[in-house]
A and B are shown apart, each in its own frame.
Chain A
Amino acid sequence: MKRLLAVLIMLLMAIGTALPAEAVSESELDQITERWQISVHALNEVNCASCHQESESNAFVANPSYESCQSCHEDPVDTFLLGKHGIRLLEGESPLTPAMARLPMKHDALTKEMNCNTCHDVHSVDTVQAAVDACLTCHNDTHSLTYENSKHAELFLATKELPRPGPTAVTCATCHLPRTGFDQSDGTTLVKVNHNNTYTLKPQDRMVGEVCMNCHGVEYAFNSIFDPELVKANFDRPPALSLETFDMMRAAEKLRSGNPSDEAE
């Protein structure tokens, strides 16, 4: 029934997009231009035509797709296409909509179509909004909704510097679309955002290494992320779990450090 409804909605939307409703008003265009003028796009000479005009035919493109972004942002788009948000596009299907999700989604977001600009304001290139607010536009599960009770959210609110979250802010994207450093030949590190939102999810120890251990000790991280209730509550309190793995490690260390009276292997 739900699927049938989704098909109907998609049909209606297809009819909707076929109508010539693409033009913006003069004042809307002025607002967009204002946001663009102070963006890193403008300051890197990425102008309107860079995205809104086909390079070969010079044909006007009202709504550029992810392929347009991909011509400069190769890694973010490639990884986006491998995660749940983008996989349908990679497989030649219609874009993902929250209506298709098994997780609880916000009712008035059910028909949103996942593309780069669903989360990103592509004109301001401000990723603060993309890091939390964009997620909460659709996601409606307990973990998402309790984020604001966490210390992580406090850190984010404390900085909220524009145009992108700083190195002390912990947003939804920090854990689910983690920044990853790549060593360059000139000795510097290039930090890219891994847009494959499923990469750090399973198994959980991947998130521990990729993300948690930037700030937390290994035991604290494991004891938190392996407690489903704490995950659900979005880490609103310190972990109460004490994984046996660490007790076994301590016992093994004791043996290794030469305490042969304990027990023999």
Chain B
Amino acid sequence: MVANSNRRFDLRKGLSLRVAVILVMVILVTWFSAAFALEQKQIFMPGETSVGHYLFDTSCASCHEGFKPVTNETCNRCHEAELAEDAHGATKFRDPRWATYRDNIDVLTCTACHNEHVHMFGRGVHLQPDLCMVCHEELTVSQLKSHEGFAADGCWTAGCHNFHDHRTISTGFLRQNMGEPAMLPVQQLPDRNVTTTIETAPAPNLKQEFLGGST
């Protein structure tokens, strides 16, 4: 009698578990389909997208091809101009003198240093503040007396160094331009020079179309 009621109880338990599982599945499928249908694909993301990328973060395929890792080509599709002058570029690290540093960190792969959908730092993309130390630790410890005791996470966060394009921040550039007055003697921005080919405007060649009539 006792055993019998126990079995009935188990059966009921088994049934309700199955119902619960099915219910959860149905909810999940509806949830995911709704996300696709309503263009709310952000729910699939592991974390918040950076300030530059969130505007198109429902377009997963802009950066992702299935579950394959994001490639340099993907980044370069938009960021070619920013990387046109790269102090730490491919030429440097294919040079045998520096190539072994790629064992420390694969600096020729964008995603080795930059991550997306994680907490963001001030450069727009995620970048570990002390990443420079992977190769340059000696600089702050013994190599450069001027940098002795500097914090490991200050190289770029303090605004002094720029890993990729250092044309306007390198010591050479600063040395050349130091001591300039607040206002330069000549203050002039590039001017646009637009030329015209005729003296007076021709007659407009459409009219009825704009008024709602046909051609």
Interface residues of A (CB under 8 A from B): 3, 7, 20, 22-26, 29, 33, 36-38, 40, 42-45, 47-49, 52-53, 58, 60, 62, 79, 82, 84, 87-88, 90-93, 96, 100, 102, 164, 166-170, 174, 179-181, 189, 191, 193, 196, 198-199, 201-206, 208-209, 211, 213-220, 222, 226, 238, 243-246, 248-253, 263, 265
CA distance A168 to B182 in the complex (A): 16
Q: Are B196 and A191 in contact (CB under 8 A)?
A: no
Of all chain A residues, the one with the shortest Cβ separation from B193 is: A191
Cβ of A108 to closest chain B Cβ, rounded Å: 21
Knowing that A179-B189, A214-B184, A217-B181 touch, tell me 16 more A-B residue pairs with CB under 8 angstroms: A20-B212, A29-B211, A47-B202, A49-B205, A87-B56, A166-B191, A168-B187, A196-B81, A199-B81, A205-B159, A209-B167, A217-B180, A217-B182, A218-B173, A238-B182, A250-B178
Flag if B194 contacts A168 (CB, 8 Å): no
B165, closest chain A residue (CB): A206
Given A93-B59, A170-B189, A249-B178, A48-B51 contact (CB < 8 Å): no
Point out the residues of chain B lying under 8 angstroms from A253, CB to CB. Answer: 175, 178
Q: Once the chains are docked, how many angstroms separate the CA of A256 from the CA of B205?
A: 69
Q: Please state if B178 and A219 are interface contacts (CB–CB under 8 Å).
A: yes
CB <8 Å contact, B193 and A91: no
> Inside 8 A of B124's CB, which chain A residues have their CB?
198, 201-202
| A29-B146 in contact (CB<8A) | no
Question: Which residues 142-162 in B have Cβ within 8 Å of A in the complex?
Answer: 145-146, 156, 158-160, 162
**A221 CA to B32 CA in the complex, in Å?**
50
Q: Which of A92, A100, A218 contacts B178 (CB 8 A)?
A: A218
Question: Which of B51, B78, B209 makes the CB contact (< 8 A) with A60?
Answer: B209
CA distance A2 to B199 in the complex (A): 52
Q: Which of B165, B169, B189, B193 is the one whose CB lies under 8 Å from A174?
A: B189
Counting from the closest, the 7 A-B pairs by CB-CB distance are A23-B212, A217-B180, A209-B168, A42-B201, A43-B196, A215-B187, A48-B206
Q: A23-B211, A174-B189 are in contact. Are A48 and B204 (CB under 8 A)?
A: yes
Residues of chain A with a CB closer than 8 A to B188's CB: 167-168, 214-215
Residue of A nearest to B61 (CB): A91
User: A164-B192, A208-B168, A252-B171 given as contacts; is B187 within 8 A of A45 (CB)?
Assistant: no
Among A38, A52, A58, A84, contact of B55 (Cβ-Cβ < 8 Å): A84
Q: Which parts of B4-26 form the interface with A (CB within 8 Å)?
A: none
A73 to chain B, nearest CB (A): 12
Q: Is the CB of A248 within 8 A of B58?
A: no
B210 at the interface (CB under 8 A from A): yes
Near A by CB (< 8 A), chain B positions 29-81 give 38-40, 42, 51-52, 54-56, 58-59, 62, 78, 81
Q: Does B82 make an interface contact (CB < 8 A)?
A: yes
Complex interface: chain A residues within 8 A of B123 (CB): 202-203
Is A249 a contact partner of B55 (Cβ separation < 8 A)? no
Query: Inside 8 A of A43's CB, which chain B residues have their CB?
Result: 196-201
Closest to A223 in B: B182
Tell me whether A213 and B177 are in contact in the complex, defined as CB-CB below 8 angstroms, given that A40-B196, A179-B190, A208-B168 are known contacts. Answer: yes
| Complexed CA–CA distance, A37 and B198 (Å) | 12
* Contact, CB under 8 Å: A37 / B201: yes
- Chain B residues lying within 8 Å of A246, measured Cβ to Cβ, are 174, 178
Question: Does B104 touch A at the CB level, under 8 Å?
Answer: no
Report yes or no: A215 in contact with B40, Cβ–Cβ below 8 A. no
B8 to chain A, nearest CB (A): 46
Closest A residue to B211 by beta carbon equals A23
